[in-house]
Structure 1
Amino acid sequence: MHDTTPATSRILVWDLPVRLFHWMLAISFAGAWVTADSERWRDIHILLGYTAGGLVALRVVWGLVGTRHARFASFVRGPRRVIAYLRSLVSDRPEHATGHNPAGAWAIVALLLLTLAIVATGLVVEADAGPKNLDDVHEALATAMLVVVGIHVAGVVLGSLVHRENLVRAMITGRKLGAPGEAIGSPRRLVAVALVALVVGVWTGVLPAPGLPANEGLTAITAKAPQARHHGDSAND
């Protein structure tokens, strides 16, 4: 819902799955970016990529069947609505969005699509298939993702200042300013538990990760990392 009427009540807007997705995707991308050029942490980089791709796939499903403000139909709008929203930000009565605002919505869509493209190209590169320059495409997509992340963060800061509401805190607590009738009824804890269980399953080696033969989990991977560095140093000698 979008309006210019001041909202004074703090209501539950973001369910737990949405909040967990948001922060786990942020951590996954940051970790993948840091480990991108390190042979020592190659397996960690791959696991982070799988995590990001899986999170986005689950978010797409949740965007269709989740709580009202999590659904794409509730916040993805056309160019005219985006322009109208941006114009309102410099007016005396900036438009308030209970869920995602029209401009931020497209940044989110871009982040989801870029993540899928990055993961897809990464899988092909790891399989040593596809065109020779696909690795460059993979890196270019990651750079584009970083740019969109920067735009998203800038939008969050601007929105927080304009609406005098801490949007970062809202994505932690799930609560935003809004009309009582706009609140969701449940944080969907069971879905959140299932999401965490899937991620933990991959990272502990309980669930398979294609491209990582006999996925042994985070402990085994980190234990082998120093050995990989040692072998690399020996080869250079």
Structure 2
Amino acid sequence: MNTASASRAERSPAIPASRRVVDAPTRVVHWLLALSFIGAYLSGDSERWRLLHVSLGYTILGLVVHRVLWGLIGPRHTRLSAWAAKLRGTPDFLRSLRSGKPNPSAAQNLLNTLFAILILGFALIASISGYAVYEELGGDWLEELHELSSDGMLVMVLGHLLLIVTSSLLRRQNLAARMFSGRLPGRGPDLIKRNHGALAALILAVVLGFWFVQLLAPA
């Protein structure tokens, strides 16, 4: 009886081990920021879609503020201090390049951190300057700043996507999957102990509610 059970267990496919590496609020903010930027960028030159453009700009500003706050009080691996620790490895990485023995994993982590910081920085500048332009608080230089920061954010987003695709091919692992499930295959403890699903649901509800009030609710 025990032998038969053991035999069936051996024939059953093994469930691959995985670990949580990204919490739910970070994933929700990531995708909301991506969608908001795409919509804002595409609607930027259209008077017809000006309300959509402005509403998405407000959304981007709110999401960036949340990400900064979450980087101060959130899980250890999502904090801004974790980014700072990765940036401190820049001299070692540059020395490895000069020696001809670069570490691909270290390069991917460093570049990914740089892209994340620059994307948030450009997003903050674009949203604040966009608000100033909308309220007619400045001259033409603010409009130029808004356009330049928006284009800069686009370049950083494209660079980020290229890095993810290249790293996924080199590692033979879909690194983008972690921003959907929050998990990556591999044994070991979860880097993120709590998923904070309730907070993620609250963020999503607030953003969707804001969009409804701004764009769909009757005047």
TM-score range, shorter chain: 0.7 to 0.9
Alpha-carbon distance in structure 2 between the residues aligned to 1:9 and 1:91: 31
User: CA-to-partner distance for each residue in 1:59-98, whole Å, 9 max, x for gaps?
Assistant: 111111112221121233465623645858x85964369x
Q: Is the 8 A contact 1:110 1:148 kept in 2?
A: yes
Matched, 1:43 2:40: no
Q: What is the total number of aligned residue pairs between the two structures?
A: 201
Q: Secondary structure at the match of 2:89?
A: helix
Question: Is 1:31 the equivalent of 2:31?
Answer: no
Contact 1:75–1:101 (CA under 8 A) maintained in structure 2: no
User: Which residue is 2:61 aligned to?
Assistant: 53
Distance 1:83 1:27 in 2: 35
Aligned counterpart, 2:83: 75
- The residue type paired with residue 120 of structure 2 is L
> Which of 123, 126, 135 is residue 118 of structure 1 equivalent to?
126
Q: Residues 119, 10 of structure 1: CA spacing in aligned structure 2 closer, same or farther, 3 A cutoff?
A: same
Q: Find the aligned partners of 2:129 and 2:215 in 1 and give their Cα distance.
A: 23
Q: C-alpha distance in 2, partners of 1:200/1:132? A: 33
| Aligned-partner residue type, residue 23 of structure 1 | W
Cα distance in 1 for residues equivalent to 2:29 and 2:212: 19
SS at match of 1:180: coil
Query: What letter is aligned with 1:137?
Result: L
Q: Please say if residues 32 and 45 of structure 1, whose CA atoms lie closer than 8 Å, have aligned partners that are also in contact.
A: yes
Contact 2:40 2:53 in 1 (8 A): yes
* Mapped contact 2:21–2:192 kept (Cα < 8 A): yes
Aligned partners of 1:64 and 1:72 also within 8 Å: yes
**Which residue identity does 1:152 align to in structure 2?**
H
Which amino acid letter does the alignment assign opposite residue 114 of structure 1? F
Q: Distance in 2 between matches of 1:218 and 1:155?
A: 35
TM-score, normalised to structure 2, is: 0.82
Could you list the runs of 5+ residues in structure 1 that have no partner in the other structure?
Answer: 1-7, 206-216, 225-237
TM-score for the superposition, normalised by structure 1: 0.76
Cα distance between partner residues in 2 of 1:160 and 1:85 = 20
Residue 164 of structure 1 and its aligned partner are, at CA, apart by 2.0
Which residue, 214, 219, 232 being the options, matches 2:216?
A: 219
Deviation at 1:177, TM superposition (A): 4.2
Larger Rg: 2
Deviation at residue 174 of structure 1 after TM alignment = 0.5
CA distance in 2, matches of 1:179, 1:68: 20
Runs of 4+ in 1 over 4 A off after TM superposition: 83-88, 90-93
The letter for the 2-side match of 1:95 is S
* 1:133 shift after superposition: 2.7
Partner residue in 2 for 1:164: 172
Counterpart-to-counterpart distance in 1, 2:45 and 2:67:
28
Instruction: Identify the residue that residue 4 of structure 2 maps to in structure 1.
Output: none
Distance 2:132 2:103 in 1: 49
Identical counterparts, % of pairs: 35
Match of 1:95 among 93, 105, 113: 105
**Is structure 2 residue 145 aligned with structure 1 residue 143?**
no
Q: CA RMSD in A?
A: 2.6
Task: Answer yes or no: is the 8 Å Cα contact 2:119–2:153 preserved in 1.
Answer: yes
User: How many Å apart are 1:39 and its aligned residue?
Assistant: 0.5
Q: Superposed, which structure 2 residues align to 1:147-226 within 5 Å?
A: 147-177=155-185, 180-205=188-213, 217-220=214-217
Q: How does 1:2-21 map to 2 (within 5 A)?
A: 9-21=17-29
Q: What amino acid does structure 2 have at the position aligned with 1:122?
A: G
- Residues 1:164 and 1:68: Cα distance change in structure 2 (over 3 Å): farther
